[in-house]
Amino acid sequence: MNITKFCCCSENMCNVNFTDAYVPAEDIPPSTTELAPKKPLNSLFWIVAIVSFVFIMMIALGASYYIWKRKPKKNDVETGHQHPLPPPADYSLDKLKLLNVIEFIGQGRYGCVWRGLIDDQEVAVKVFAAHHRNYFLNEHEMYKLSGENSALLKCYGGGEYMMAPGGLTDYLLLLSLEQECLQEYLKNHTLDLVSLSKMSLGVAKGLAHLHTDLGKPCITHRDINSKNILVRADLTCCICDLGLAVVPRRAENKSISEAGTLRYMAPEVLEGAVNLRDCESALKQIDVYALGLVLWELGTRCSDMQNSEPPSYSPPFYKEAGENPTLEQMQTLVSRHKARPLWPPSWKDTAAARLLCETAEDCWDQDAEARLTSLCVVERLLELPSLKGRVLHSIHPPASPTPLINNNHLHDHQIDISVGTIETLLSPSEEH
């Protein structure tokens, strides 16, 4: 309230008679403005629209995924990375009784192989003695799990069989009968680039098929070498002898590294330093190391990659470790000195030769995790036939590509790797 007053008279003592008249203000009711009610949104419409949109998108994504799965992948077509077919049904026990064993073929580590006839079909009969029953069961299972593939030896089945009347019960695997093993073939024949490409690609495809887990479990061979690779009449190759093969996720750690042929063992196996934390990758890398040595064997017998007649066949490290290398010799060569087989001095500097050399070296890398995968090897080898005749015009072409993983040049020197003998050792790489 404002209490300020003003005098408006002009006489003396005019404020003696003063009256304060208070006039209360009128109560004015507050004005209210009624707002027009908003029109409510049609919530049901939006719910239906959103649900319909999500449903249509799910149908579209499902259709796209179905079309993508049905379309063959480029890598699968080009590399032969095929989904495995169902394993063939085993011959029944009645069929095994009709088996006619004809001729002895050879002796393996855990069984011998015979040529036989069943239903007028020639088969290879692999016979396991009773005390090697576990190897029979393992190999039989691995053939079943791997499915059919042209780069694997076909197994028709197996079971118990008595080779001689009144004798002990043996265990048989009936396999397709092929020409001979790769090692024997290389002893008696040289290769051209076409046959080299066909053979090396067959081996790599077989290993890639074992390693894949598409439609089957991943399987590692654990004994890749030129004796466990067979050559067919059309010069394609297939992998055989799955007696030591394992499914990595089921493998026992204590037996992982207790397998293989000494000459083809990777450095981590020789050292007992296999990475057990990633068992599957470690076992695949061990297989790829041995594959690199097989590629070296094939390359050294290829006339198209050399300026003169290829040298006679010899397995890896034969000159350094002899016919039957010991564990100590291989540890000295491969693990301690990081040595690898030398390429022939007459090696040509062509694109095909360089590709094969680099692929083999990337397979036998000292660092297991730096090695190629088997599928990557297949992709590289597919390029070989197209490189025939292409010469690399480098300023300093090497007479012999380095066999060591770090691409350092080699110099021969002498070192004692066995008691009482002096052997010529492949030169070590420089220490990292």
Q: How far apart are CA 94 and CA 27, in angstroms?
A: 118
Query: Annotated catalytic residue: which of 119, 192, 213, 223?
Result: 223
Burial letters 265-289, b for 16+ CB under 10 A, else e = bbbbbbeeebeeeebebbbbbbbbb
State which H helix or E strand residue 207 sits in: helix 193-211
> Tell me, what DSSP letter sits at residue 246?
B
CA atoms of 150 and 224, how far apart (whole Å): 17
93: Cα separation from own chain's centroid = 36
Distance CA 158, CA 142 (A): 12
Q: Establish whether 119 is a catalytic residue.
A: no
Does 126 appear as a known binding residue? yes
What sections of 212-278 are H helices per DSSP?
267-270
Residue of 146, 143, 170, 147 whose CA lies nearest to 157: 143
Q: How far apart are CA 310 and CA 313, in angstroms?
A: 9
The Cα–Cα gap between 280 and 416 comes to 36
Q: Which residues contact 322 (CB under 8 A, 6 or more apart)?
A: none
* Per-residue tokens: 289: 């190391």
How many Cβ atoms sit within 10 Å of the Cβ of residue 178?
Answer: 18
Helix (H) or strand (E) holding 116: strand 111-118
Which residues does the annotation place in the binding site for ATP? 126
Which residues does the annotation place in the binding site? 126
Catalytic positions, please?
A: 223
